């Protein structure tokens, strides 16, 4: 029986001035419901967990411990469901395998097969127990949570592969199948496929193999690793509809990127944001993947739904090597002049984010007229840097653009100096003011210091 709130209270009706009322005294911090996520905050020299609460007598409210373990609970529930699916799948797959490879002399029959299935399921349960024993922090920290998810993401194929390993190898029996884990079997089988794929690539370079053979080996390996479906080459994955090729390039996995391209994945496929694999590689600074995608006819001019290109993203996020690679292409001059929905160029975005090393390279590489281009708001790249307080970037741009750049006014009639003053960056407005005075002195040439006084 669920306890009522009154069961944990002290009756103090005898203290009440109203005899008809029942008054109860509850322990401190009773009837509080946790609302919203927990957060860590500094309290002196220590970190404390901050919980937002409200008064609530709802008996179903979650405790702090339940809140903190919610992500782990969902992970374990998902794993339990996957194990149930594996149970059904392995029994079905066993019948399918035995129809083709039944051999009682080698103990490849239903009785031995069921024993092997049971051992594989036990291995899955042990994996589940191992995940349950891990602390909540392994699930609440995003980078650690990704490790737990990745470990079980392909577990159904891994379990099925171990059953196939038992059927196809004469020396593997129900008695010794447990001597090698299903993950070890997976690595062993994938290693064999990697060897075949690499050998076909080498033979193709020596004109001993056709491209068709390379593609077939790449498809077989990609399917085994779980990156390709049976019928769909560019099957979108996850909430943002990214393909395996997009995921590989955004993570900087050049070997997997090349494999998926060889398997026939479309290099210019887009996700729900309009991003391609090439754009994602540029954004994250993965030059090897970017170079490979360009070589395989990836479109560096492609713009996503915000009309931002690979060059814009690499400039915005300070990926200098990617910027250098893209500007070195035959259409580099065209790429640097492209604008996004706000009318900003790659130089605007680099300036806005204070990417000094990118701005320095662009100052050396890009002609002056590009620096004088304005966004839809009328702002120049100097406005963008000045409004964000990036002093060093302002110095580089002002040196490159000189008076022509410093005197550009936005749609509200403000120069970069005036915009810096409005944005409360006095050091930047002072620097630009001094440059203006210096230009004035040079214009009045020959009058020296008197020109300033005038």
Residue 263 CA to residue 255 CA, distance in Å, equals 12
pLDDT tens, position by position, 128-145: 999 999 998 888 888 788
pLDDT score for 53: 83
pLDDT score for 448: 41
pLDDT score for 240: 60
Between the alpha carbon of residue 88 and those of residues 126, 214, 223, the distances in Å are 18, 35, 21
pLDDT score for 444: 46
Token readout for 180 is 């090698």
Between the alpha carbon of residue 224 and those of residues 154, 161, 230, 318, 441, the distances in Å are 10, 9, 10, 36, 73
pLDDT score for 40: 73
Residue 313 CA to residue 358 CA, distance in Å, equals 12
pLDDT score for 114: 93
What is the DSSP track for 435-453?
A: HHHHHHHHHTTTSTTHHHH
Give the containing element (helix H, strand E) for 145. helix 142-152
What is the DSSP track for 323-390?
A: HHHHHTSTTHHHHTT---TTS--HHHHHHHTT-HHHHHHHHHHS-HHHHT---TTS--HHHHHHHHT-
Residue 251 CA to residue 453 CA, distance in Å, equals 59
Token readout for 208 is 């001993």
Residue 33's SS3 state is strand
pTM of the model: 0.71
pLDDT score for 9: 72
Encode the chain (454 residues) as per-residue pLDDT tens digits: 344 555 667 778 878 777 777 787 877 777 777 777 777 777 777 778 788 888 776 555 566 677 778 889 999 999 999 999 999 999 999 988 888 888 777 778 888 999 999 999 999 999 999 999 999 888 888 878 888 888 888 899 899 999 989 988 888 888 898 899 999 999 999 999 999 999 999 888 888 767 889 999 999 998 888 787 755 555 555 556 788 899 999 999 999 999 999 998 999 999 989 999 999 999 999 999 999 999 999 999 999 999 999 999 999 999 999 999 999 999 999 999 999 999 999 999 999 999 999 999 999 999 999 999 999 999 999 999 999 999 999 999 999 998 899 999 999 999 999 999 999 999 999 999 888 766 644 454 544 443 322 3
Whether the Cβ atoms of residue 298 and residue 276 lie closer than 8 Å to each other: yes
Residue 286's SS3 state is coil
Between the alpha carbon of residue 100 and those of residues 91, 104, 167, the distances in Å are 15, 13, 10
Between the alpha carbon of residue 428 and those of residues 305, 335, 391, 398, 424, the distances in Å are 34, 30, 6, 11, 9
């Amino acid at each position: 029986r669920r306890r009522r709130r009154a069961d944990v209270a002290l009756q103090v009706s005898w203290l009440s001035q109203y005899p008809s009322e029942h008054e109860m005294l509850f322990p401190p911090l009773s009837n509080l419901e946790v609302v919203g996520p927990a957060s860590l905050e500094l309290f002196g020299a220590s970190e404390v967990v901050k919980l937002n609460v409200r008064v609530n007598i709802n008996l179903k409210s979650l405790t702090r411990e339940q809140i903190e373990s919610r992500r782990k609970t969902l992970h374990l529930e998902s794993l339990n469901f996957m194990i149930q699916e594996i149970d059904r799948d392995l029994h079905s797959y066993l019948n399918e395998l035995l129809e083709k490879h039944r051999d009682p002399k080698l103990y490849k029959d239903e009785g031995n097969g069921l024993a092997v299935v049971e051992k594989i399921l036990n291995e899955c349960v042990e994996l589940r127990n191992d995940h349950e024993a891990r602390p909540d922090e392994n699930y609440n920290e995003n980078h650690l949570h990704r490790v737990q998810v990745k470990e079980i993401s392909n577990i159904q194929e891994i379990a099925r592969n171990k059953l196939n390993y038992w059927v196809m190898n004469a020396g593997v029996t129900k008695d010794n199948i447990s001597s090698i884990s299903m993950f070890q079997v997976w690595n062993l089988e994938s290693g064999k496929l990697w060897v075949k794929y690499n050998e076909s690539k080498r033979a193709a370079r020596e004109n001993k193999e056709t491209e068709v053979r390379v593609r077939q080996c790449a498809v077989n390996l990609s399917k085994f690793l779980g990156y390709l479906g049976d019928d769909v080459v560019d099957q979108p994955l996850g909430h943002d509809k990214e393909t395996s090729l997009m995921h590989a390039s955004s993570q900087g996995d050049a070997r997997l990127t090349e494999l998926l391209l060889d398997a026939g994945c479309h290099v210019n496929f887009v996700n729900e944001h309009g991003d391609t694999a090439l754009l994602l590689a540029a954004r994250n600074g993965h030059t090897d993947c970017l170079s490979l995608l360009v070589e395989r006819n990836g479109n560096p001019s492609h713009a996503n739904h915000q009309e931002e290109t690979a060059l814009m993203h690499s400039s915005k996020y300070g990926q200098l090597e990617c910027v250098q690679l893209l500007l070195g292409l035959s259409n580099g001059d065209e790429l640097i002049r492209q604008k996004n929905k706000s009318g900003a160029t790659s130089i605007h975005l680099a300036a806005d984010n204070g990417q000094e090393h990118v701005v320095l390279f662009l100052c050396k590489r890009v002609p002056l007229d590009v620096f004088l281009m304005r966004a839809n708001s009328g702002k120049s790249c100097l406005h963008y840097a000045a409004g964000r307080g990036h002093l060093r970037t302002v110095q580089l741009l002002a040196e490159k653009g000189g008076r022509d750049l410093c005197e550009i006014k936005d749609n509200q009639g403000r120069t970069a100096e005036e915009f810096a003053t409005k944005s409360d960056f006095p050091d930047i407005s002072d620097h630009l003011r001094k440059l203006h005075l210096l230009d004035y002195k040079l214009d009045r040439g020959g009058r020296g210091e008197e020109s300033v006084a005038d």
